[in-house]
Amino acid sequence: MSLGQLYRSLDDECFKVLHAIESYMNKYEYVPVRLILRETRIPPKRLDAILGYLNSKKIIRRRVGYEVGYKLTFVALDLLAIRSLVLRGVLEAIGEKIGVGKESDIYEALGPGGVRLALKLHRLGRRSFKQTLRLRPYVLEKETQEWFQESKLSAQREYRALEEISKHTKYVPKPIAYSRHAVVTDFIEGVELYKIRTLTNPRETLEKILEVIRVAYVKVGIIHGDLSEYNIIVSFPEETPKVIDWPQYFYKEHPSAKDILKRDIYYVVRYFNKKFGLEVDWEKIYEDILSEGE
């Protein structure tokens, strides 16, 4: 069942249950059924049926012990974020998954009027989740809530970075909204830079990418921190680049800010020089941006 189908299978009572569990997860690793019952006021038999369904779909996870309790999974967080965005009038439909990263999943979505959007769901801890499950299963449960919070913070950081940078340049995704660990942006039709063999005017494309680095540093006071050919998307036929993946940015006041800025510039210029036969002096670009930002 796709994420969109799963969302459509839930009614208001199901979301009331998910909200109730979420509200207690700061206090309980597994939220006791008695608290869910008290919070939702759903009749016990109906609540049992809802909890059974949500558990069967791996939206929540059950633990049986001194008392039965439930916790949210990342799927539940996905559904709660989507619900919030739907109620706010941001999203109208969820499409297929179009991208999977180390720490995120990306879906195509539709907004009001059929506008194409991208829905990015941050998933910090994905690798740790699998590795910890294999090596130390007893640690797994204690870390989930921390990963939830880190994913929410990651989404918030990315949204705010895009919000500020997009005021000064069009070469980043346009942020639309965020909720919990989800960020909605305009849809980018393009190809990752590392997959592209030729460009008609690679120097112009590089200059637009360098504009993003300059604007971020000089106007906003941040540095991408992980810039490479893997997080730049180029749209054709205009060959317009968009710099993506901003949650790990650094402030220019960071002790290592200059080194991080230098690294971002060096990596992207080196790639264009090597791949497209340019002879751009990355050190001069670095010095120019640095002096402009001081």
Asked if 91 contacts 109 with a C-beta cutoff of 8 angstroms, the reply is yes
* 245 in catalytic set: no
Of 51, 90, 91, 43, nearest to 68 by C-alpha is: 51
Catalytic site residue from 48, 226, 264, 281: 226
Torsion over CA of 191, 161, 179 and 110, rounded to 10 degrees?
A: -30
Q: Which residues pair with 120 in a beta bridge?
A: 106, 183
Whether the bond into 237 is cis, omega within 30 of 0: yes
Active site (catalytic) residues: 226
